[in-house]
Structure 1
Amino acid sequence: MPIPLRPAPAPLRKQTSHHGVSTLPPALQTKICELLDIQYPIIQTGMGWVAKPELVAAVSNAGAIGFLAAATIPPDEVEAEIEKIKALTPRSFGVNFLMDAPGADVISDAIIRQGVKAAGYNRAPSADLIQKLKDAGVVCVPTCGAVKHAVKAEALGADIIVVQGGEGG
């Protein structure tokens, strides 16, 4: 079933009713919104076999940020998947991958070459690879399942940390 790709609505503007009270909820702008250039502080993580270009673009077009699941794609095909996303949305998106997997360098090079806004990662993060991404202006968004991993991720330069419970894949 195709996912409808609709652009996000324009940012909320202050409106008043005939009583002079705002009828719209306030816009929720956070540091995450600023870092990722998104409208809503919502991150769709890179769910293996699910987070494909169509889902990533739909989420990004809705004003959040979608992440491509590169961990389940051969590394030499990731760049083509990034190009598919770019054809579907002009908005920010990310690519999620396993740093300890073969081809992680190929994926990170594609992220940098294609100007992807954010990189999500987990498993044995490499300080050198994280620094390479950061030097290229990529927002680093690791997923952590334990406090000790989050502390390490922060020490290695994470910009945002996604916390995943035991139910996560």
Structure 2
Amino acid sequence: MADHGGIGLFGDDEEQEQHYNDAADLDDILGLDDEDAVDTMQPADPEGSLLMRFCPHDSSMLYPKENRSERKLQYACRLCRYTEVANGQLIYKNVLKKEVGNVLHTVPSAVSDDPTLPRSQKAHCGKCGHNEAVFFQSDTSDVRNDTLALIFVCCSCDYKWVA
């Protein structure tokens, strides 16, 4: 933090010291001790690239910005001229992954009557024991091993399962 001639973020040094004492009292009230303290300087994300960053001068959020002259990614404050170099090239990550179990609820029971779907005479239903089922590929990957999931629907009881 910059030296402002005895005036800190919370006023003069005396007011700042009082703020720290109040924060320590609050920790005592909440039952927090140093073992429960969280080090905010250490990124929780192993890559350290997807965390929100804040300006050390005015505590506003830092936004990604391209430094065109150096061809580097930076984080910049919109209120002051503070910038810092980004560690990685990743700004945002959007993971679209549906749970296969949730997809089973969206499969209509009438799908077992669809003559265009392939049928298997060797698919054993765990509910009624019938061996005929229609099957199709799910539009999601199987959570267990990231391969395409086959959804089976029993032709007798309309029980649905993933294989």
Q: Answer with 1 or 2: which has the greater Rg.
A: 2
Q: TM-score, normalising length from structure 2?
A: 0.19
- Tell me which protein shows more helix as a share of its residues: 1
Tell which has more relative contact order, 1 or 2 (C-alpha 8 A, sep 6+).
Answer: 1
Q: TM-score, normalising length from structure 1?
A: 0.19
- Tell me which protein shows more strand as a share of its residues: 2
